[in-house]
Amino acid sequence: MKRKVANEDLMIGMYVVELDRPWDNVPFESPFELQGFTIANVEELEKVRKLCGYVYIDPTLGVGAKRYLEDDMPMQDIFDVMHALPQHESEVYRETTTFSHELDTASQVLDDCEVVYARIEEALAKGGDTDMETIKSAMTDLVGSVIRNPAAVSWLVRLKRGDSTTYSHSIAVCVLALAVGRFLGLPRNQMENLGLAALLQDIGKIRLPEELLTKTGPLNSKEREILRRHVMESVQMLEQARNFPKQVVQTVSMHHERHDGSGYPRGLKGDDVSMPAVVCALADSYEAMVNDRPYRRAKTSYEALMELYGKRDTEFAGALVEQFIQCIGIFPIGSFVQLNTKEIAVVIKRNQIQQLKPRVMILVSADGKRKEEPESMDLAAQYLEPGEVPRIISKVVNPKRFDIDPHQFFA
């Protein structure tokens, strides 16, 4: 379903799927062959209004409005509904602090979450009660950091990837799910429940045999069946604690269900799989792909997103896959890339509309020498001399190949 919207009627949160001219005639880019994006802020809204007289939107992908819209609803009614949506239906979040200012706070918040997670794991393993006040406080702080500036906490998570002694897959999944929740405009209370579910969805694995969880080769059918038990083990542990919100337990119970009914434990399909469960599943799948495993190398973010895109409308609801990709972006914050000039740079700020042209910090010159003073450049707003070729990203690279320590940046 798509609706024609004049530029003066456009609003933040609308999902643009078609323009009044060919896509290659305007500076809009979108992931893969997708031709669509969410208008996320005032700057993007003004850019679309300046370049297009009208566009087509998909109301089912617009923030907060899809449950209210019907195929025969007049466009003016759609606007009225979106303007009249109550605050608990959706939020439009704006960054309220800079990346660098949020880093210290985000770092402390993540440290606190690690401590709290360890305490939860210990308490649930013993079948005892959990300190819900402390848990909620930690999650409230984490949600607050994600809302203020999601790039900061996401960057810190990226730095800690692969360091299994100090960090956990569960916290990385939690942060990613919260970033997606923010992108979707979920209100804070729903984000806190989403974060708790993402954090604890695999807690039941502590009841499974250690040798099964650390096995490097493929699992046989019996082992796969045992591994699948972790979902119900997680649910039972949370229910026994008696103080986790019902929505959290429900999301955990569904995080391995799939859109086409191929998931487990109940084989749910379609709309029977809740939106928070799909977000948790996407975050879990993505994080598993971009981290090294004993039996395979880590995929790049682009490779992982391509794989998830290929599973739209089969394993995962297509609309949420597309929103997930929009949220993550082809080149996430902290991606190390090589430019067409052979320079090496790190992505320091995404460009929501022109996905292929983020702001980068150039670290290594074309001759392979480290720059004493790294140069910041917005690839979407380059000032070129006549005949000069604009810089573009050629590929994602491993910083270790260039003797670059990711921890030294944004510290």
Q: What is the pLDDT of residues 277-302, one digit of tens each?
A: 999 999 999 999 988 776 677 888 88
410: left (phi over 0), alpha (psi -120 to 50) or beta: left
Q: What integer is the mean pLDDT of 310-334?
A: 88
Angle at which helices 230-241 and 221-228 cross, to 10°: 20
Q: How far apart are CA 21 and CA 111, in angstroms?
A: 49
Mean pLDDT computed over every residue of the chain: 84
Confidence of residue 66 (pLDDT cuts 50, 70, 90): very low
Q: How many CB atoms lie within 10 A of CB 216?
A: 8
Most confident of 7-16, 28-37, 140-149, 327-336: 140-149
CA nearest to 106, candidates 162, 165, 148 = 148
The full 3-state SS of 1-16, as one line of letters, equals: CCEEEEHHHCCCCCEE
Residue range 337-388, pLDDT digits in tens? 999 999 999 988 888 777 888 889 899 999 988 888 888 899 988 888 888 8
| pLDDT for the residue numbered 396 | 85
pLDDT higher at 144 or 48: 144
* pLDDT at 50 exceeding the cut of 60: yes
Q: How confident is the model at residue 263 (pLDDT cuts 50, 70, 90)?
A: very high
Q: What is the C-alpha to C-alpha distance for residues 10 and 53, in angstroms, rounded to an integer?
A: 11
Is the pLDDT reported for residue 250 higher than 90? Answer: yes
Q: What is the mean pLDDT of residues 163-180?
A: 80
Taking each helix axis from N to C end, the angle separating 318-328 and 301-309, rounded to the nearest 10 degrees, works out to 170
Q: 3-state class of 239 per DSSP?
A: helix
Query: How far apart, in whole angstroms, are the C-alpha atoms of residue 385 and residue 376?
Result: 18
Residue boundaries of the structural domains of the chain: 3-84, 99-328, 336-408
pTM attached to this predicted model: 0.80
Q: How much is the pLDDT for 89?
A: 55
pLDDT score of 30 more than 90: no
CATH number of the structural domain 99-328 = 1.10.3210.10
The number of angstroms, rounded, from the C-alpha of 84 to the middle of its chain's C-alpha atoms is 28
Query: What number of other Cβ atoms are within 10 A of residue 95's Cβ?
Result: 14
